[in-house]
Structure 1
Amino acid sequence: MLNQMDPEITNQTIKMFKILGDKTRFRILYLLETKEWHVNAIADALEMEQSAVSHQLRKLKEAKLVKSRRVGKNILYSQEDSHVYDILHLAMEHAAHTH
């Protein structure tokens, strides 16, 4: 039952859903599901400014939904935890089912 759950886990879950509820962050996570991307490639793919993508990547990284690694002058971003994609896929299946 929800009222018996650990308050910290409940708060972390709510924060995660808030992060996932943003269209831009959702689209970024979708891109990062299968491979690493650098910020300029993400910006190009989403037809967005690099600064806006960087801002969203920072939020995703703070939420521990993406990770980064430096390769030369580039920083590559990838998924942090595949469990997040289970949630995203279930939500998309639910949306398609109820549509």
Structure 2
Amino acid sequence: MHADNDARGVCQRYDLAAEVFGMLADATRVRIIVALRGGELPVGEIAERVGKTPAAASQHLAKLRLARMVLTRHEGTKVFYRLADDHASQLVADAVHQAEHTLGIAPQHAETAEEPTDA
């Protein structure tokens, strides 16, 4: 019985891990995570940094918030977003480094890698 519970727990963790990767399978959300590495930002600035309208950025931010990857703070009519922890940021950094290796680009492998830009 104990082994069944352990197996279910492992499967559940794998399922949740796949959901995390699914959430980060969108380039805009990856750019948002990178933009928030430097700290809290208002929606308008996030939108500008990722090249989307505030409405489009807000939709992506809502998904990240529901996935508990970002947290919000309200100040008057402005909403500020920040990373909930560094786990998503680390996953994105690792994915960017993997992409750099795949493309044959010399990886930066720095904690503060620059924001990815469209080529």
TM-score range, shorter chain: 0.7 to 0.9
Q: Which of 52, 55, 58 pairs up with 2:59?
A: 55
Q: Which of 7, 11, 31 pairs up with 1:7?
A: 11
Tell me which stretches of 4 or more aligned residues in structure 1 moved more than 3 Å. Answer: none
Higher helix share: 1
Structure 1 gap ranges (5+): none
TM-score, normalising length: structure 1: 0.88
Alignment of 1:39-78 (within 5 A): 39-78=43-82
SS at match of 2:38: coil
Between the aligned residues of both structures, percent identity stands at 29
Aligned match of 1:80: 84
Aligned match of 2:117: none
What letter is aligned with 2:39? K
The structural deviation recorded for 1:47 is 2.7
Structure 2 gap ranges (5+): 1-6, 104-119
Measure, in 2, the Cα distance between the counterparts of 1:45 and 1:86.
19
Alignment RMSD:
1.6
Computing the radius of gyration from Cα coordinates, the structure with the larger value is: 2
